[in-house]
């Protein structure tokens, strides 16, 4: 599968000044900007920027950023699922995972996350993918936002819906370990029925394995 990436951008005003949402960007384009030191949700900012630079040059990798004139204040990543996750089991070339989305605290509430997702989906080639996001409550910034688990989930679902991602059932052990966790899914218009069926098996991998075991008796 050829992973075609088409650049799109959006500029809009916030109380802290204009914001540019743009991408997908290659690593050499990302290096033109300063990576904000408060982007530390997953690892120290310097290390996280190194990770983004690597993802940007993966054949399927997509990095979109939110920036001021010269500073990245938010980003979203898309790439194939980690080889250690169940979602990589069938090696689906048309399955992408929204791996991370992060905004510095100063710009939260300014529509940055929603606009990152909207601009992501302006690329018509995204219609060739199944896009997933695995949401675990222990990754959420409950302390920083002062939201309850359930209010945070409502905000998260509303934000993800702007990119077309909706909750979908699964028997993934980590997701079903807490009722607030969820799998978010967007199936592109051009995804084949074969891929959709394969993805449905992935969503209920434990159940299908159990069924196969029973039928093998």
Q: pLDDT by residue (tens digit) across 31-51? A: 999 999 999 999 999 999 999
Q: What percentage of residues in the chain have a pLDDT greater than 70?
A: 95
199 conformational bin, left if phi > 0, alpha if psi -120 to 50, beta if neither? alpha
Q: Specify whether the CB–CB gap between 111 and 76 falls below 8 A.
A: no
- Give domain status of residue 1, yes or no: no
Scored b (16 or more CB within 10 A) or e, 95-129 reads bbbbbbbbbbeebeebbbbbbbbbbbbebeebebb
- Give domain status of residue 85, yes or no: yes
The pLDDT score that the predictor gives to residue 207 is 76
Q: How far is CA 49 from CA 65, 70, 76, 130, in A?
A: 11, 15, 12, 26
The pLDDT score that the predictor gives to residue 144 is 84
What does the alpha-carbon distance between residue 6 and residue 9 come to, in Å, rounded to a whole number?
A: 10
- Give domain status of residue 107, yes or no: yes
- Give domain status of residue 2, yes or no: no
Q: What percentage of residues in the chain have a pLDDT greater than 90?
A: 90
Specify the number of domains making up the chain: 1
Domain extent at residue 100: 8-216
- Mean pLDDT throughout 98-114? 95
**CATH value at residue 110:** 3.40.630.30
pLDDT-derived band at 60, boundaries 50, 70, 90: very high
**For the chain, how many residues are written?**
217
- Give domain status of residue 153, yes or no: yes
Q: What is the mean pLDDT of the chain?
A: 94
* Tokens at 176, concatenated: 């079903």
Is the pLDDT at 217 greater than 50? The verdict is no
Query: In this predicted model, which residue has the larger pLDDT, 210 or 45?
Result: 45
- Give domain status of residue 3, yes or no: no
Residues with Cβ within 8 Å of residue 69, at least 6 apart in sequence: none
What does the alpha-carbon distance between residue 151 and residue 133 come to, in Å, rounded to a whole number?
A: 18
- Mean pLDDT throughout 60-69? 98
């Amino acid at each position: 599968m050829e992973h075609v990436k088409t650049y799109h951008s959006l500029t809009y005003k916030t109380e802290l000044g204009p914001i540019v949402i743009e991408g997908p960007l290659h690593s050499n384009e990302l290096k033109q900007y300063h990576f904000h030191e408060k982007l530390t949700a997953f690892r120290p900012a310097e290390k996280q920027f190194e990770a983004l630079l690597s993802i940007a040059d993966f054949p399927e990798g997509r990095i979109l950023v939110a920036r001021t004139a010269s500073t990245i204040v938010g980003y979203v990543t898309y790439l194939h699922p980690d080889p250690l996750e169940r979602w990589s089991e069938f090696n689906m070339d048309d399955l992408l995972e929204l791996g991370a989305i992060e905004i510095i605290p100063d710009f939260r509430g300014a529509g940055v996350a929603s606009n990152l997702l909207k601009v992501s989906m302006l690329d018509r080639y995204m219609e060739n993918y199944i896009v997933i996001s695995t949401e675990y409550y222990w990754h959420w910034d409950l302390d920083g936002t002062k939201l309850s688990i359930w209010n945070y989930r409502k905000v998260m679902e509303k934000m993800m819906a702007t990119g077309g991602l909706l909750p979908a059932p699964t028997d993934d052990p980590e997701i079903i370990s807490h009722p607030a966790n969820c799998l978010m899914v967007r199936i592109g218009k051009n995804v084949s029925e074969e891929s959709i069926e394969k993805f449905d098996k992935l969503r209920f991998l434990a159940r299908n394995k159990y069924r196969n075991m029973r039928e093998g008796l």
